[in-house]
Amino acid sequence: MLIQCTKKMLDELKRKPEEQVEEEAPLTSWHANIITLQRRKTLVLVNDQNRYTVVLHGLKAKDIKKAR
């Protein structure tokens, strides 16, 4: 599974971008972004092929720390 993050998301995770070595199947490729809604962090994941969206609202710092 390949999750491509926006710069804003990479900054939140405190990670640097990595080069993609191998092409993934479109069904397992996702894009991730983090936005702020009503002073709460919201993670938005979008599938590249079918535009299926997953929204995780109300994330806290400890939730993001677990993702690292």
- Is 9 in a helix, a strand, or coil? helix
pLDDT confidence of residue 68? 64
pLDDT confidence of residue 66? 79
Domain that holds residue 46: 2-16+26-67
Domain count across the chain? 1
What lies within 8 Å, CB to CB, of 63 at 6+ separation is none
In a domain, 33, yes or no: yes
In a domain, 43, yes or no: yes
pLDDT < 70: residue spans in the chain:
68
pLDDT confidence of residue 1? 85
In a domain, 21, yes or no: no
The torsion angle over the Cα atoms of residues 24, 66, 57 and 4, rounded to 10 degrees, is: -20
In a domain, 9, yes or no: yes
pLDDT confidence of residue 34? 95
pLDDT confidence of residue 46? 97
